[in-house]
């Protein structure tokens, strides 16, 4: 199927129906003006070339219209978040009413736990995967403390078995069978940032609900990478950032999903703000809070338009490419990377990400035994932008929108050469 040659990689790029999308992005260059091999979209996606135009349009409208831009801009600012909703909903597999872009990821996670972490004296525990992204763990621990529980007792870790890197679903089942009547919330990062493992979301949601627990997912490494099919998965909520695979720029706004079964539940606890209030009476300041139905009802403040313009620029590129097409290319591109890394033939190398394409996105986590961060430094010096995670893992993520088969080939060649010269 695959061949370890530059000619093969270039032929794949030639036959790739999405190859033209690479030209829609700014590719970082070295000091000689040569394109770097950028495989770090799992940390920060590249900038679409249209982003500056989208932002400039809002700056121009601000300059010429002032406050009237809220209603008179080409894309009026009052409903601006609505311009993102349908395209974002398609990417995460949700109904438009279930999705809103707002705040940042950890802020949204706390807002969701206000509503969906409902501890009692007997049911108060929270399950996370053992190597969850630190911010998720910090947030969950702080929620336990806020409600008067000791995280050492209230936080349950779903861990890989000894000598393994990946979590097994049957071990989560065992946790739920043994402690399910004490577990209030399953809060799982759907694609693990370290291993790249994509968890079975629907099975996890069904498992949690069967034991009376609520279920949420952090899609930070999933949105724009895999298809989470959130509505059909049945999770109560999900959160994600937009600056990784969604290419919206550093620190940009995040996304939030609330399943439609909660759309009109005004009995749920929530922290409220005026942007979640009924649009018809929002500017009549003397009304009691009247939440909008659906995910919009969890909004707090009017959103930063310039950040949303950057998100819209990227979502328009996604919409043009088609997410299913991107997912198909992603499987082939990461499969080629996997083939090339295996073909290096170095016993120190181990791919800890699942081999099954359905259990991963585009990221491969490559463990190099006995290596230290010097390996990452040498890759950087060789023109590769990747990501290092202690103690011995290089994370690389060929993003199908802008990475090529040739990128993947050159990465493997440079890694091979560095290891051979150690």
Supply the pLDDT for residue 399: 98
Across 4-34, b (16+ Cβ under 10 Å) vs e yields beeeebeebbeebebeebbebbebeeeeeee
Compare 421 and 419 and report the one with higher pLDDT. 419
Residue 232: both structure tokens together: 């059909």
Supply the pLDDT for residue 284: 83
Nearest to 187 by CA among 246, 142, 250, 229: 142
Question: How far, in Å, CA of 184 to CA of 83, rounded?
Answer: 35
Nearest to 98 by CA among 234, 278, 242: 234
pLDDT reading at 287 higher than 90: no
Question: How far, in Å, CA of 208 to CA of 215, rounded?
Answer: 6
> Domains (ranges, CATH) in the chain?
6-35+323-420 (3.90.1150.10), 55-319 (3.40.640.10)
Supply the pLDDT for residue 370: 87
pLDDT reading at 361 higher than 80: yes
pLDDT reading at 400 higher than 80: yes
pTM of the predicted model, to two decimals? 0.96
Say what percent of the chain tops pLDDT 90: 95
Across 205-216, b (16+ Cβ under 10 Å) vs e yields bebbeebebbbb
Supply the pLDDT for residue 304: 97
Q: Are strands 155-158 and 384-385 parallel, antiparallel or unpaired?
A: unpaired
Residue 230: both structure tokens together: 């959130």
**What is the per-residue pLDDT across 99-137, written as a single tens digit (0 to 9) for each?**
999 999 999 999 999 999 999 999 999 999 998 888 999
Report cis status (omega within 30 of 0) of the bond before 391: yes
pLDDT reading at 285 higher than 80: no
pLDDT reading at 168 higher than 80: yes
Q: How many residues does the chain have?
A: 422
**What is the per-residue pLDDT across 224-274, written as a single tens digit (0 to 9) for each?**
999 999 999 999 999 999 999 999 999 999 999 999 999 999 899 999 999
**What is the per-residue pLDDT across 136-163, written as a single tens digit (0 to 9) for each?**
999 999 999 999 999 999 999 999 999 9
Q: Are 247 and 318 a contacting pair, CB within 8 Å?
A: no
Supply the pLDDT for residue 196: 96
Supply the pLDDT for residue 421: 87
pLDDT reading at 286 higher than 90: no
The mean pLDDT of 157-174, rounded to a whole number, is 96
Supply the pLDDT for residue 150: 98
Question: How far, in Å, CA of 284 to CA of 286, rounded?
Answer: 6
Say what percent of the chain tops pLDDT 70: 100
pLDDT reading at 422 higher than 90: no
Q: Are 363 and 42 a contacting pair, CB within 8 Å?
A: yes
Helix axes 305-321, 51-65, angle to 10 degrees: 140
């Amino acid at each position: 199927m695959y061949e370890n040659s530059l000619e093969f990689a270039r032929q794949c790029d030639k036959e790739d129906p999405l190859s033209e999308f690479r030209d829609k992005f700014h590719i970082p260059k070295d000091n000689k003006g040569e394109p770097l091999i950028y495989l770090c979209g799992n940390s920060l996606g590249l900038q679409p070339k249209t982003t500056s135009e989208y932002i400039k349009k809002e700056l121009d409208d601000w300059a010429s219209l002032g406050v009237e831009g809220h209603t008179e801009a080409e894309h009026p600012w009052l409903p601006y978040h609505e311009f993102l909703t349908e395209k974002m909903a398609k990417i995460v597999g949700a109904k438009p009413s279930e999705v809103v872009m707002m705040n940042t990821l950890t802020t949204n996670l706390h807002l969701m736990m206000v509503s969906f972490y409902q501890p009692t004296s007997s049911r108060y525990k929270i399950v996370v995967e053992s190597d969850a992204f630190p911010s998720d763990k910090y947030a969950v621990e702080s929620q336990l403390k806020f409600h008067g529980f000791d995280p050492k007792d209230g936080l349950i870790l779903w861990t890989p078995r000894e000598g393994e890197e990946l979590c097994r679903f049957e071990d989560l089942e065992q946790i739920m069978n043994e402690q399910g009547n004490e577990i209030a919330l399953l809060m799982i990062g759907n694609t693990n940032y370290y291993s790249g493992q994509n968890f079975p979301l629907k099975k996890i949601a069904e498992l949690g609900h069967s034991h009376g627990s609520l279920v949420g997912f952090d899609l930070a490494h999933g949105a724009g990478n895999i298809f989470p099919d959130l509505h059909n998965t049945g999770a109560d909520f999900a959160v994600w950032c937009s600056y990784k695979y969604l290419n919206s720029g550093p620190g940009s706004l995040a996304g939030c999903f609330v399943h439609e079964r909660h759309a009109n539940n005004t009995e749920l606890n929530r922290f409220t703000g005026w942007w979640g209030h009924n649009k018809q009476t929002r500017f009549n300041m003397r009304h009691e809070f009247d939440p909008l139905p659906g995910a919009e009802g969890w909004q707090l403040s009017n959103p930063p338009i310039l950040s949303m313009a950057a998100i819209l620029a990227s979502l328009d590129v996604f919409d043009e490419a088609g997410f299913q097409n991107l997912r198909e290319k992603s499987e082939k591109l990461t499969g080629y990377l996997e083939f090339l890394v295996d073909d290096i033939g170095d016993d120190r190398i181990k791919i800890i990400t699942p081999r099954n394409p359905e259990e991963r996105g585009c990221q491969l986590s490559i463990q190099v035994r006995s290596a230290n961060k010097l390996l990452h430094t040498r890759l950087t010096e060789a023109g590769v932008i990747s990501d290092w995670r202690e103690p011995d893992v290089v994370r690389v993520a060929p993003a199908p929108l802008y990475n090529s088969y040739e990128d993947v080939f050159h990465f493997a060649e440079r890694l091979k050469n560095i290891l051979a010269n150690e």
